[in-house]
Amino acid sequence: MTPDEISALLDNVQGNVLDAFGKDHQRLVLFEMTDVAKAHRWLGKMARAVATAREVRDFNDLFRRVRARRGGRREVVESVWSQLLITASGLRFIGVPDAEIAQLGPEFDGGMKSQAAELGDTAESDPATWREPYRTRTIHIMLVVAADERADLDEELDYLIESAGTCSPRRVRPRISRDARARRYPAVGEGRQSGRVPTPQPGRCGPA
């Protein structure tokens, strides 16, 4: 694609696709949808919560300019980003025709388990040995939340999980957690693996 064609897509592509979030902290949360109508409603509302490629690109450019001007001293420009990814099973659940899903390729349609040999997931890494719930549960959605500060990440994550609570998506536990730290920082570990899960508020469905 030409630069002009890419620019035209920036408002219609999620962030973390063309340009990485590049944050110090990141969490991955898996969901299984349970009600088609509520899932459609939640996904529609989540369109306001996910970052666009243009937002991420503009922020990254600003971050680099400010950091260069300040000589690399203290990163004062910060943001919190979210990305929502749907599996082939998730697309089928909300009613996307098989013919359309097939256009995304057999690798996507078949899922990771069907590609175990190609991915090297054999012997002790074989899908049959995966811990629950990943061995048997259906994964419909992966939510990526990334931030510069741990407190901001936790606040956004709590908000998005709470918003999903009344809208059909159900977390698949245990939550996958990781901190993607810059190389100059020490590793942080699993973070909020056992943290509080907010109670969904009645009547709420998706980010306000």
- 55-76, pLDDT tens digit by residue? 999 999 999 999 899 887 777 8
pLDDT score, position 183: 30
Instruction: Read off the pLDDT of each residue in 42-60 and give the average, rounded to a whole number.
Output: 93
Q: Exposed/middle/buried for 55, CB within 10 Å: 0-12, 13-18, 19+?
A: middle
Say which range, 93-97, 142-146, 152-156, 158-162, has the weakest mean pLDDT: 158-162
Residue 145: what are its φ and ψ, rounded to 5°? -125, 130
Say which range, 20-34, 105-119, 165-179, has the weakest mean pLDDT: 165-179
Q: What is the mean pLDDT of the chain?
A: 81
Distance of alpha carbon 178 from alpha carbon 193, whole angstroms: 9
Instruction: Read off the pLDDT of each residue in 126-154 and give the average, rounded to a whole number.
Output: 91
| pLDDT above 90: percentage of residues in the chain | 50
CB-based contacts of 165, cutoff 8 Å, min separation 6: 198, 199, 200, 201, 204
pLDDT score, position 45: 87
